[in-house]
């Protein structure tokens, strides 16, 4: 069973601590995505699991075995790198067979594995080519194929699609998801792209500054973010945040501009006078002639089937509206907008933690 446990895992470079005591459990067969902004420690954490990076403290447990002191080559893992890391002087077939030859796998077995994997990844017509003769998507398939032929317990992907164009990224994302369904192996995938995280993952680990902010299923993080960072990172476009103060009767959020927004009647633990930040996703905020919030429109994107309106509040706070269809709102307009009260999130402004009443 390829379960993975991180127990109080830390990593320091001198006095700089880049991974700060992470605890995490990934079940056998799960597709887990590490996501977060650049510099949050997600790639470092992946390299620690792989054995390419030592750990400063804590334990990494794979299949019930502590692997802190086990070399990378003996952990039963396979890693797919952002740079593909293919041998340029070798053909595709040779790139696929190299790792198996190093462990003295019989030639007939190597040939059979390569044929099976090449057909699965649709690179069977490319076996005689060298990497320089392949497109980016083809190189990525070869890099994945090299990992698959080794039949590892766990696949590790370090931002494997970041070098591809947008359309090819979507195609390859589908290929990786399909691969996971066919093989059923545990997979850990690192990306800064939260759309990739939402579409691929069984579980998402959101990281910031070496700390684990939240771990859970994609929709759990989307619907019930633990704090403002997770709320703003998960979802595209990002969540809007509107600061205010809870009214004496707990029914309104009073903005510094004098505007008042109705608060949910239940579901959140709030107090009169409390500084609260309301989170509203762009799809849950719409133009409304009687809406409580005035928005100064700074730009509009018309994409045919959908529209994006970008504006600012009276206090200068940025707001995005995403709606289906086309809009007549134009640059320079001032419009009234209204949130769907039942869909808003409330956070304590000082701590940034969710005020949801669990």
User: What is the chain's length?
Assistant: 358
Is 230 contained in some domain?
no
The CATH number that applies at residue 209 is 3.40.50.300
Residues 176 and 254 in one domain: no
| Residue 230 structure tokens | 């997770």
pLDDT at residue 168, rounded to an integer: 81
The mean pLDDT of 225-243, rounded to a whole number, is 95
- Of 216 and 14, the one with more pLDDT: 216
Residue with more model confidence, 316 or 280: 280
CATH number for 243: 2.40.50.140
Residue 164 pLDDT? 79
Q: Are residues 122 and 158 in the same domain?
A: yes
The predicted model gives 146-152 an average pLDDT of: 87
Q: Is 296 helix (H, G, I), strand (E, B) or coil?
A: strand
Report the domain count for the chain: 2
Picking from 225, 247, 280, the residue at the C-terminal end of a domain is 225
Mind listing the pLDDT tens digit for each residue in 88-101? Answer: 999 999 999 988 88
Regarding whether 171 and 301 lie in a shared domain, the answer is: no
The answer to whether residues 217 and 272 belong to one domain is no
Do 70 and 186 lie in one domain? The reply is yes
Among candidate residues 181, 201, 225, the one where a domain is terminated? 225
Q: Do the beta carbons of residue 22 and residue 211 sit within 8 Å? A: yes
Tell me, yes or no, whether 231 lies in a domain: no
Beta-carbon contacts of residue 143 (< 8 Å; ≥ 6 apart): 80, 81, 84, 85, 86, 160
Structural domain includes residue 354 = no
Q: What is the mean pLDDT of the chain?
A: 92
Read off the pLDDT of each residue in 140-151 and give the average, rounded to a whole number. Answer: 87
Angstrom distance (rounded) from CA 20 to CA 23: 10
Boundary residue ending a domain (204, 225, 246): 225
Answer whether residue 289 shows pLDDT above 80: yes
This prediction's pTM: 0.90
Residue 159 is given by DSSP the state S
CA–CA gap between residue 110 and residue 101 (Å, rounded): 8
Q: Do 48 and 181 belong to one domain?
A: yes
Token couple for 119: 């057909």
pLDDT of residue 175: 85
Same domain for 38 and 143?
Answer: yes
- Residues 140 and 111 occupy one common structural domain: yes
Say if residue 237 is preceded by a cis peptide, omega within 30 of 0.
Answer: yes
In the predicted structure, residue 237 carries a pLDDT above the cut 70: yes
In a domain, 232, yes or no: no
Section 318-345 average pLDDT: 94
Confidence check: pLDDT of 181 > 70: yes
For 18-46, the pLDDT digits (tens) are 999 999 999 999 999 999 998 899 999 99
Local confidence band at 1 (pLDDT 50, 70, 90 cut-offs): low
Contacts of 193 (CB under 8 A, 6+ apart): 35, 161, 162
Minimum mean pLDDT range among 126-135, 156-165, 243-252, 269-278: 156-165
User: By C-alpha distance, which of 83, 77, 57, 84 is closest to 68?
Assistant: 57
Q: Which residue has the higher pLDDT, 169 or 342?
A: 342
Average pLDDT (326-345) is: 94
| In the predicted structure, residue 144 carries a pLDDT above the cut 90 | no
Are 190 and 46 in contact by the 8 Å Cβ rule? The answer is yes
The answer to whether residues 120 and 213 belong to one domain is yes
- On the 0-12 / 13-18 / 19+ scale of CB atoms within 10 A, 19 is buried
Domain of 38 in residue numbering reads as 4-225
Same domain, 118 and 71: yes
Indicate whether 356 belongs to any domain: no
Q: Is the pLDDT of residue 53 over 90?
A: yes
Q: Find the mean pLDDT for residues 338-352.
A: 96
215 and 248 share a domain?
no
Same structural domain for residues 325 and 266? yes
């Amino acid at each position: 069973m390829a379960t993975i446990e991180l127990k109080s895992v830390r990593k320091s470079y001198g006095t700089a601590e880049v991974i700060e005591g992470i605890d995490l459990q990934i079940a056998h067969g799960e597709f887990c995505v590490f996501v977060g902004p650049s510099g949050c420690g997600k790639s470092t954490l992946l390299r620690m699991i792989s054995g390419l990076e030592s750990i400063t403290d804590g334990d990494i447990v794979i299949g019930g075995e502590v692997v802190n002191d086990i070399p990378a080559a003996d952990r039963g893992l396979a890693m797919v790198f952002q740079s593909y890391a293919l041998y340029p002087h070798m053909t595709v077939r040779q790139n696929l067979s190299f790792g198996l030859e190093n462990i003295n796998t019989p030639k007939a077995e190597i040939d059979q594995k390569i044929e099976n994997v090449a057909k699965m990844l649709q690179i069977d017509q490319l076996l005689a080519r060298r990497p320089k003769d392949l497109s980016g998507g083809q190189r990525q398939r070869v890099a994945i194929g090299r990992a698959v032929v080794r039949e590892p317990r766990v696949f590790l992907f370090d931002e494997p699609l970041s070098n591809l164009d947008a359309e090819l990224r979507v195609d390859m994302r589908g290929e990786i998801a399909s691969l996971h369904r066919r093989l059923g192996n545990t997979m850990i995938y690192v990306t800064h792209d939260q759309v990739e995280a939402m579409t691929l993952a069984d579980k998402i680990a959101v990281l910031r500054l070496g700390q684990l902010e939240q771990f859970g299923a994609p929709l759990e993080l989307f619907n019930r973010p633990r704090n403002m960072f997770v709320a703003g990172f998960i979802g595209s476009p990002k969540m809007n945040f509107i600061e205010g103060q809870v009214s004496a009767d707990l029914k309104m959020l009073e903005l510094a501009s004098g505007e008042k927004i109705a608060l949910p009647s239940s579901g959140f633990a709030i107090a009169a006078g409390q500084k609260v930040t309301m989170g509203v996703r762009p799809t849950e905020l719409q133009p409304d002639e009687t809406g409580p919030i005035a928005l100064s429109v700074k730009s509009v994107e018309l994409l045919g089937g959908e529209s994006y309106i970008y504006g600012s509040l009276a206090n200068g706070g940025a707001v995005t509206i995403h709606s289906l269809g086309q809009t007549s709102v134009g640059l320079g307009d001032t419009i009234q907008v209204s949130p769907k009260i039942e869909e808003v999130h409330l956070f304590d402004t000082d701590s940034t933690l969710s005020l949801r009443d669990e």
